[in-house]
Chains A and B, each alone.
Chain A
Amino acid sequence: GAVVSQHPSWVICKSGTSVKIECRSLDFQATTMFWYRQFPKQSLMLMATSNEGSKATYEQGVEKDKFLINHASLTLSTLTVTSAHPEDSSFYICSATAQKSSTDTQYFGPGTRLTVL
């Protein structure tokens, strides 16, 4: 089946630094990738949708300059948390889809836990 990986799985950084998280589709070409954020015991919240070669579409309330998303190829999307602060600590999950019209073909990565000290 389709596999999506994320790297790193866990990262700890100091306040004020930037952190990059990678999301890769290993065995298929992902036309669209999604980034979610999950707080403890909370549901996944969609942060942004990115299509290969174009700018990401951010959900309301998500700071574009804070969470930089790049989808440079059909197998890789990156999320950069800039000038991270403790309130950015969370579990970040990506998903990818090879189709343009169906939500049920989203394949999820295992997630990245970010801790900002």
Chain B
Amino acid sequence: GNSVTQMEGPVTLSEEAFLTINCTYTATGYPSLFWYVQYPGEGLQLLLKATKADDKGSNKGFEATYRKETTSFHLEKGSVQVSDSAVYFCALGSGYALNFGKGTSLLVTP
């Protein structure tokens, strides 16, 4: 079946540091891949997505590339800000269903 594995947190970084959150997946067929972000007290929001191999999703300085050969969709940002502190979820989509990773908590300190 489909599944997603993402790195465990929490991740603590200083402002302007480089961020990588690893995500790997197992899937049959050709799923879409997503990163969702959940800010404190709010619902999950779509951060970026990629629908086929080698696609790069990007938004708000975050990027992730759909790598079929390594079954990965790692999230990166070159310079994090305090406002990026949140929980990040990697997800795999096939039809309606979304399979989520466990989430990675990110704390960015000034």
Contact = CB atoms under 8 A, between A and B. Distances in A.
Interface of A: 4, 32, 34, 41-44, 46, 49, 93, 95, 103-104, 106-111
Q: Could you tell me the dominant secondary structure of chain B's interface residues?
A: strand
Contacts of A4: 43
28 contacts: A32-B96, A34-B96, A41-B102, A41-B103, A43-B4, A43-B89, A43-B99, A43-B101, A43-B103, A44-B89, A46-B97, A46-B98, A93-B43, A93-B44, A95-B44, A103-B34, A103-B93, A103-B94, A103-B95, A103-B96, A104-B32, A104-B46, A104-B49, A108-B36, A108-B43, A110-B41, A110-B43, A111-B43
Given A32-B96, A49-B96, A103-B93, A43 B102 contact: yes
Interface string B10-32: 00000000000000000000001
A42 B102 contact: yes
B100 interface: yes
Q: Which 7 pairs from chain A and chain B are nearest by CB?
A: A108-B43, A103-B93, A108-B44, A43-B100, A44-B100, A110-B43, A43-B102
B42 interface: yes
Contact of A108 (B45, B93, B95): B45
A99 B77 CA distance: 30
A5 to B, nearest CB: 9
A106 B43 contact: no
Contacts of A110: 41-43
A104 B33 CA distance: 9
Contacts of B34: 103-104
Interface centre among A42, A93, A103 (most CB of B within 10 A): A103
Contacts of A106: 46, 98
Contacts of B99: 43
A94 to B, nearest CB: 9
B93 A104 contact: yes
A41 B44 CA distance: 15
